[in-house]
Structure 1
Amino acid sequence: MYIVCHMMSSVDGRSLTDGWHLDFASPCYEETAASFNADAWLCGRVTMQEISHAKDREYPRGLAKSPLPRTDHFAKRDASQYAVSIDPKGRVGWKTDTALDSHIVEVLAESVEDDYLAHLQSIGASYLFGGKDDVDLHRVVETLGRELKIDKLIVEGGGHVSGAFVNAQLADEVSVLLMPLVDGRDAHPSSFEVAMDKWQKPSYLKLESVEKLDNDVVWVRYTRKK
């Protein structure tokens, strides 16, 4: 599987766009992301909650009448594209099995509530388990490739998810859209974040291309040095 981390960043490396007032930023990001023609796109829980338009843990209770097995569940194996949600505790309250025209695949920890699994089954969404209490990204990538035949995956954030893929040496390519502004807010996360207790080593990159786009945006693409 070929994995691309595609991020949008200020010149000083900040990834949260609130207060930027750049109407061209999101269309530019979506257009460049689509150019990768990925079989699946992946985001973390916070981003997926925004996409779902649901409150935290907003799903019905009482659906599970008995404990459900912690086995992967794939409701659809022939989708044109998959939306992979890294959501270990099962907090995204999806209403349907689709996010932005892509079939939803929730990545969960085995400690998730039975009612959440029953809810995902009831709406026709898929899910897989990434570990007992947390998510092993290597296991997730292997499962996606084996079960859904995903050949290209684009990781679209947030910064902790992108940082985790890079830190795990799973990102074949790092793609960054540099927006023409300096954010300057020290409380805002960077495009790639790794907790110190999980940080392993720097990820060294090889520059593949630099392209100046409209509106003074610069698109920089790197591949991982082997």
Structure 2
Amino acid sequence: MNWRLDLNDAPSRDQGSLLLTAVQAVAISPEKAKKIVAQYQKAAHKTNPKASETEIEEIISNKIVDKYSKYASLSGGVAALPGIVPGVGTVAAMVGGGMADTTACMKIQIDMTMLLATNFGYDLNDHDAMYMTTLIAVSGGLEKMGVGIGVPIASKAGVKMLKQYLKGATLTIVKELFKRFGLTFTRKALEKSIPFGVGVVAGSGLNYALTQYVGHQAIKCFTIERQMEEEADNNGKVDS
């Protein structure tokens, strides 16, 4: 089941719905994420032939975060967007030029989190896995900007809360988080905007720091979720 929605599957044209639709229009596919991670794995094994699988996973995760943080730092101005987000003209038409940078930043962070999830062995063609990835990316960004979900996302309580979201009206929750991200990111970006900088919405420093934070929190979330699943399996074996 694919996370991408039909453009008509958005009855409310509010900011959350528009941002979600725009990001989905330019986000990488699960298949592409898998191919990219496979290339990273091949290169990492070649460069580090004696490394364990855990060490390889860590090496790749750090490379993904570093690479996408640099992408984000380049997306501080509209002029840089076409090189970072193919189809940015479509995005600008959907959400307006003023929100194009916000969409680009969200796209970069969600793409990054998709790659990290793939590196941790998640199947992004699975409905829950894809939505979990999206929730982690957007919640991490909100947390960095001071608008958390009530508990740190990179904690057992945070992971449990995100997984609980998957049992409810997930799409409604995702749209609301996108709306909050858009409003908060715009406010933060304007606080750091370059005076008289035509087309510049956010400085590269904001985008870089935000993406670094999201990436490392995502790694922690996937690690914690794996540990929780292992503990549950072990407890099940003891009970049986």
Q: Which has the higher helix share?
A: 2
Higher strand share: 1
Task: Report the TM-score, using the length of structure 1 for normalisation.
Answer: 0.24
Normalised by the size of structure 2, how large is the TM-score? 0.23
